[in-house]
Structure 1
Amino acid sequence: MDYKLIVADMDGTLLGSDHEVTEENKKALKEALDKGIYVTVATGRMYSSAKSHISFLNSTIPIIACNGALIKDSITNKIIYSNYIDREKSLKILRILEKYKVYYQYYSEDLLMCKKIDKDNKNLIKIKKLMSSGVDLVFLSDLTEHIINNDILKVIVVEDENLSILEKITKELNKIEGLEITKSWFNNIEIMATGSDKGNAVKKLAEHLDIDKDNIIAFGDNYNDISMLEFAGIGVAMGNADEFVKSRADYITLKNSEDGVAKALYELTCLKAIND
Structure 2
Amino acid sequence: MSTAMIKLIVSDLDETLLGADGSVSEENKLAIKKAREKGVKFVPNTGRGFASIQELLKVLDLYSEPDEYVISYNGGAIVENKNQKVLQTNGLSFEQASDIFNITKKFKDFDTHVYTLNDVFLYNPLSEDEAYLRTRGVNFKYLEADNLDEFKDTPIIKVITMNSDPVKQQEMAEAVLSGVYFDLNVTYS
Q: Which of the pair has the greater relative contact order for Cα pairs under 8 Å at 6+ separation?
A: 1
Q: Shift of the alpha carbon at 1:16? A: 1.1
Contact residue 101 and residue 112 of structure 2 kept, 8 A: no
One of 79, 87, 111 as aligned partner of 1:103: 111
One of 138, 141, 154 as aligned partner of 2:141: 138
SS at match of 1:100: coil
Seq. identity, %:
26
1:94 aligns with 2:112: no
Alignment length, in residue pairs? Answer: 178
One of 104, 112, 115 as aligned partner of 2:120: 112
Task: Tell me the TM-score normalised to structure 2 length.
Answer: 0.84
State the alpha-carbon separation in 2 of the partners of residues 129 and 17 from structure 1. 10
State the alpha-carbon separation in 2 of the partners of residues 143 and 88 from structure 1. 15
One of 160, 169, 172 as aligned partner of 2:172: 169
CA distance 1:171–1:123, change in 2 (3 Å): closer
Q: Shift of the alpha carbon at 1:172? A: 2.7
SS at match of 1:131: coil
State the alpha-carbon separation in 2 of the partners of residues 151 and 167 from structure 1. 27
Contact residue 50 and residue 65 of structure 1 kept, 8 A: no
Equivalent position of 2:187 in the other structure = 182
Structure 1: 5+ residue stretches without partners? 185-276
One of 150, 155, 160 as aligned partner of 1:151: 155
Contact residue 50 and residue 63 of structure 1 kept, 8 A: no
Q: Which amino acid aligns with 1:158?
A: M
State the alpha-carbon separation in 2 of the partners of residues 129 and 49 from structure 1. 11
1:4 aligns with 2:12: no
Task: Tell me the TM-score normalised to structure 1 length.
Answer: 0.59
Q: Shift of the alpha carbon at 1:142? A: 2.7
One of 33, 39, 43 as aligned partner of 1:40: 43
1:23 aligns with 2:31: no
1:14 aligns with 2:22: no
Deviates more, 1:31-40 or 1:6-15: 31-40
State the alpha-carbon separation in 2 of the partners of residues 126 and 139 from structure 1. 15
State the alpha-carbon separation in 1 of the partners of residues 24 and 10 from structure 2. 14
Structure 2: 5+ residue stretches without partners? none
Q: Which has the higher helix share?
A: 1
Q: Shift of the alpha carbon at 1:143? A: 5.4
Contact residue 22 and residue 135 of structure 2 kept, 8 A: no
State the alpha-carbon separation in 2 of the partners of residues 70 and 52 from structure 1. 18
Alignment root-mean-square deviation, CA: 1.9
1:75 aligns with 2:82: yes
Deviates more, 1:141-150 or 1:98-107: 141-150
Q: Which amino acid aligns with 1:52?
A: E
Contact residue 9 and residue 40 of structure 2 kept, 8 A: yes
SS at match of 2:112: strand
Equivalent position of 1:63 in the other structure = 70
